[in-house]
Amino acid sequence: MERTLIILKPDAIQRGLSGEIITRFEKKGLKIIGMKMMRLDSALLKAHYSHLTDKPFYKGLEEFMKSSPVIAFALEGYECVNSVRIILGATNPREAEAGTIRGDMSIGTGRNLVHASDSTENGEKEVGRFFDDNELFSYDKSEYIHIYEDFERK
Ligand code: UDP
Ligand code: MG
């Protein structure tokens, strides 16, 4: 089972889209293993977006990400990092497929509603960066036999 970090960015909070976005991941069958509202600070954002700190848009991105609280959550599921990125859609929402969260609900690249980890390695790293061990929950989800075959549930 992989883990991936989701952040509902300030635009999702301000536009009242949190519920609809969470619902899409729940309907997929993914398990929420931790969730919290947080205000992000510069240090956390610099670590999280370390691949972008030298880009011209970074300052605006950091200011935006600090502009209101966000909701962070961790999802667990079989090969979930890739499937969550597919549900999320392309970084530029104007190129995101219809049916994806970004494709259906957003327009600006800097206002694309949701962060999701982009690799298995980053999924583990980012969940660890945003959540302490005691904020993550291990529990059985009763519907799993209707979501996964045995070999996918390992
Ligand atoms: N971003 C931006 N302008 C750009 C590229 C990225 O504002 O030209 C923002 C955008 O909000 C994006 C975030 O920086 O979601 C992180 O960029 P990344 O390339 O990691 O895209 P993502 O993984 O979010 O699809
Ligand atoms: Mg990214």
Residue 31, token pair as written in the block: 């398990």
- Domain assignment of residue 154, yes or no: no
The pTM of this model reads: 0.97
Nearest atom of ligand 1 to the alpha carbon of 115: 24
Q: What CATH code is carried by the domain that includes residue 135?
A: 3.30.70.141
Q: How far is the CA of 33 from the centre of ligand 2 (A)?
A: 21
- Domain assignment of residue 111, yes or no: yes
Q: What is the pLDDT of residues 49-86, one digit of tens each?
A: 999 999 999 999 999 999 999 999 999 999 999 999 99
Supply the residue whose CA is at minimum distance from atom 5 of ligand 1: 109
Choose one of 109, 114, 122 to mutate for the ligand 1 pocket test, by most ligand atoms within 8 angstroms of C-beta. 109
- Domain assignment of residue 153, yes or no: no
pLDDT at position 68: 98
Q: What is the pLDDT of residues 111-132, one digit of tens each?
A: 999 999 999 999 999 999 999 9
- Domain assignment of residue 56, yes or no: yes
Phi, psi of 34 (to 5 degrees): -175, 145
- Domain assignment of residue 44, yes or no: yes
H/E element holding 88? helix 80-88
- Is residue 153 pLDDT above 90, yes or no? no
Query: Which domain covers residue 61, as residue numbers?
Result: 2-147
- Domain assignment of residue 6, yes or no: yes
- Domain assignment of residue 86, yes or no: yes
